[in-house]
Homo-oligomer: A and B are copies of this chain.
Amino acid sequence: MIKIDENLTVTSPAGFKASGIHCGLKKSLLKKDLALIYSDVVATSCGVYTKNKVKGAPLTVTKQHLINKKAQAIIINSGNANTCNGDDGLSKANKMTRLCAKALNIKNDDVLVASTGVIGVPLNIDAIKDGIPQLVGNLSEDIEGAKNASMAIMTTDTIQKQAGITFEISGKKVTLAAMAKGSGMIHPNMATMLSFITTDISISPTLLKEALKESVNVSYNRISVDGDSSTNDMVLIMANGLASNETITEKNNDYNLFLEALTSLNIYMSKKIAKDGEGATKLIECTVKNANSIDDAETLSKSVVTSSLVKAAIFGSDANWGRILCALGYSNVDFDPEKVDVSFASTAGEILVCQNGASVNFDEAKAKEILLQDEIKILIDMKLASSEATTWGCDLTYDYVRINGDYRS
């Protein structure tokens, strides 16, 4: 019933508009760098943030503005993270929301702010100030507005990331959509990862927050590009209630349906982000089953998708399962190495390469064919209990090194 629609955008839910422009933070005039999402009415809203001790100034301002659990607009810039800029950074993040609120004629604390880009370089607030009239003027509920917004939040991303889901609750059509950016520094606890979710559902602030947290834990918090966790991550959601469903205030069927849709959407976006990791050529999906607990399964799985040696082997389409056992081994989870089975799978088939912690005779040519595809599944059976978790990552490539060897210039 719940099905991802790649043609939906953040302006698909009722009452949302968006825009994206080039204001001058990025050097190329062709690259958009300032985005706006706007709801016709004040929406119930909440966020989930990075756990990095070093936090960008925009996070501080957004958290303050969400104390009342309401928001009507989100302004986002790329090209500069506005982090490690001291009081100047905080002052400019505050100025971004004030200028935006004024231009939209809404309350300052109903505007949220996010930034992504280089750390420790003063933000060019004048460029943003000069861009805001055009940014607000361009607001549109058409697909074009959403497309421009999603392009304006990209940094080293190579593809736009947008999708949505439509479903019915009690006869009312509800729409949920997201736009996100990812690429380098993506790690559990959400590094330099931004995702903005809009929905016209009517739901209590408490349950919206709970659903967001629960879905983020099994999606954005289960992806890793390079193990680095960023200073500026956030996932924000605005629910403006214009679907006119009976407001969800308890964990009934309506809530469960919403949670399922939100989780599906967030997992879909997470996989998009992992696959578009800096320099990545392949998505790695690692499922650990029959572990002692979900926490154990998640830790084991993350250890595999974060291992540089595993990632480099997948890049080289090399069925080097020893590195997978090695990564399980240093995860600090207790298990019996002599019980572990490992298989690789993709659209080209599935192959068992390790049984009970030891080598099996497998067809190297078949393994190579499986690993040459662009979405690789690593299936690990711990044979201990019945808990399972899936995490996502990408391969480690020459381009990762190229991109990150001189990002600032």
Interface residues of A (CB under 8 A from B): 51-55, 81, 83-86, 88-89, 118-122, 184-185, 187, 189, 191, 226-231, 306-309, 312-313, 315-318, 320-323, 325-331, 333-335, 337-338, 354, 356-359, 396-398, 400-409
Contacts and interface: CB of A to CB of B under 8 A. Distances in A.
Nearest to A403: B312
The majority secondary structure among interface residues of chain A is loop
A55 to B, nearest CB: 8
A401 B403 CA distance: 14
Contacts of A335: 53
Given A122-B359, A326-B119, A318 B228 contact: no
B326 A228 contact: yes
Contacts of A119: 320, 322-323, 325-326
A362 to B, nearest CB: 11
Given A120-B354, A334-B53, A358-B86, A329 B231 contact: yes
A51, A191, A318, A321: most-surrounded residue (chain B CB, <10 A): A318
A86 B356 CA distance: 8
Given A120-B325, A323-B119, A84 B357 contact: yes
Contacts of A312: 400-401, 403-405
Given A322-B81, A405-B315, A330 B228 contact: yes
A325 B84 contact: yes
A398 B402 contact: yes
Across chains A and B, which 10 residue pairs bring their CB atoms closest together, nearest first?
A: A119-B322, A316-B405, A54-B329, A312-B404, A229-B330, A52-B329, A316-B406, A86-B358, A53-B329, A226-B308
Given A53-B337, A120-B354, A229-B326, 13 more contacts: A55-B337, A84-B322, A84-B357, A118-B322, A119-B320, A185-B326, A229-B330, A308-B308, A309-B404, A312-B401, A316-B404, A396-B401, A398-B398
